């Protein structure tokens, strides 16, 4: 039986989580009639592809504008709002740069990072492990959100009024500290409670 590997794909960061017909047709080439696509809550599709053809299939996917990411204990691709008021106004270039820097990095447990371009918060940054909210011309950074369980809670403010460069540096530092000091399969919110919010930026 042919060995398969699961990858996560989406259409990248843009005005809403969308796929075009060419992208869907490209994905369907590698599916049998009985195969199913799993749509995650983080704007990704899980697709199983032949392991021995993984690199060439990913190259083909990327040639039609799909973005491909590893599945498992990695930083997920950035979940975003729909950028309803425009690319520059809501900071789409900043969201793209965050995603470029962090998506796919190995961590102790799956890490979810979200971005929203205004204080309405459609990207749900307060409910993610790490959340970014654009406010006027600066960015607020939240950590420790938890969506599941009876102990679900919103994230708390880590830093506010950050410039884009300060934001990139801080997000990368938080992820690096978690990658280096988190215990195996320790969720980020538990890691944060164990070491303290202040320790990850000291």
Residue in 17, 41, 16 with CA at minimum distance from that of residue 148:
41
Both 40 and 122 in one domain: the answer is: no
pLDDT of residue 42: 86
- 130-144 pLDDT, tens digit each: 999 999 999 999 999
Q: How much is the pLDDT for 151?
A: 87
DSSP secondary structure string for all residues of 41-77: TTS-EEEEEEGGGHHHHHHHHHHTT-EEEE-SSBBPP
Residues forming a β-bridge with 153: 146
CATH code (residue 92): 3.30.413.10
Contact 115, 79 (CB under 8 A): yes
In a shared domain, residues 93 and 166: yes
| Sheet containing 45-50, strands listed edge to edge, beginning at the edge strand earlier in sequence | 38-39, 45-50, 4-10, 67-70
Query: Do 16 and 46 belong together in one domain?
Result: yes
How many domains, the chain? 2
| 99 and 119 assigned to the same domain | yes
Check whether residue 103 and residue 168 sit in a common domain.
yes
Q: Of the candidates 64, 35, 30, which has an alpha carbon nearest to the alpha carbon of residue 49?
A: 30
Residues 139 and 187 in one domain: yes
Query: Is 109 in the same domain as 57?
Result: no
Same domain, 124 and 195: yes
Q: Which of 51, 70, 89 is the last residue of a domain?
A: 70
Mean pLDDT estimate for the chain: 95
- For the chain, percent of residues with pLDDT exceeding 70: 100
DSSP summary character for residue 114: E
Alpha carbon 188 to its chain's center: 14
**66 and 25 in a common domain:** yes
Band (pLDDT 50/70/90 cuts) for residue 16 is confident
Q: Cα–Cα distance between 132 and 198 in angstroms, integer?
A: 18
Whether 9 and 60 have beta carbons less than 8 Å apart is answered as no
Domain shared by 90 and 160, yes or no: yes
When pLDDT is averaged across residues 118-133 and rounded to a whole number, the result is 94
How far apart, in whole angstroms, are the C-alpha atoms of residue 127 and residue 97? Answer: 21
Among 21, 49, 70, identify where a domain stops: 70
Q: What pLDDT, on a 0 to 100 scale, did the predictor assign at position 85?
A: 87
Q: Domain check: are 46 and 83 in the same one? A: no
Structural domain span for residue 60: 4-70
Domain final residue pick, 70, 91, 126: 70
- Residue 17 belongs to domain with CATH number: 3.30.70
Helices (H) and strands (E) in the chain, counts: 5, 9
Q: Quote helix, strand, coil % in the chain, to nearest 5.
A: 30, 25, 45
């Amino acid at each position: 039986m042919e060995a398969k590997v699961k990858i996560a794909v989406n259409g990248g960061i843009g005005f809403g989580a969308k796929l075009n017909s060419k992208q869907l047709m490209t994905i369907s080439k590698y599916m049998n009639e009985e195969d199913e696509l799993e749509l995650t809550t983080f704007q990704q599709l899980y697709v199983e592809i032949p392991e021995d053809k993984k690199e060439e299939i990913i190259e083909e996917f990327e040639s039609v504008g799909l973005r491909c990411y590893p599945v498992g204990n990695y930083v997920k691709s950035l979940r975003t709002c729909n950028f309803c008021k425009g690319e520059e106004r809501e900071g789409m270039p900043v969201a793209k740069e965050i995603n470029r820097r962090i998506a796919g990095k190995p961590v102790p447990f799956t890490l979810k990072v979200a971005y929203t371009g205004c204080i309405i918060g459609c990207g749900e940054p307060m409910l993610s492990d790490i959340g970014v909210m654009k406010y006027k011309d600066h960015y607020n950074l939240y950590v420790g959100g938890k969506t599941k369980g009876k102990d679900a809670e919103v994230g708390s403010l880590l830093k506010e009024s950050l410039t884009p460069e300060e934001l990139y540096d801080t997000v990368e530092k938080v992820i690096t500290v978690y990658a280096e000091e988190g215990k195996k399969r320790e969720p980020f919110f538990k890691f944060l409670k164990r070491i303290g919010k202040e320790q990850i930026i000291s």
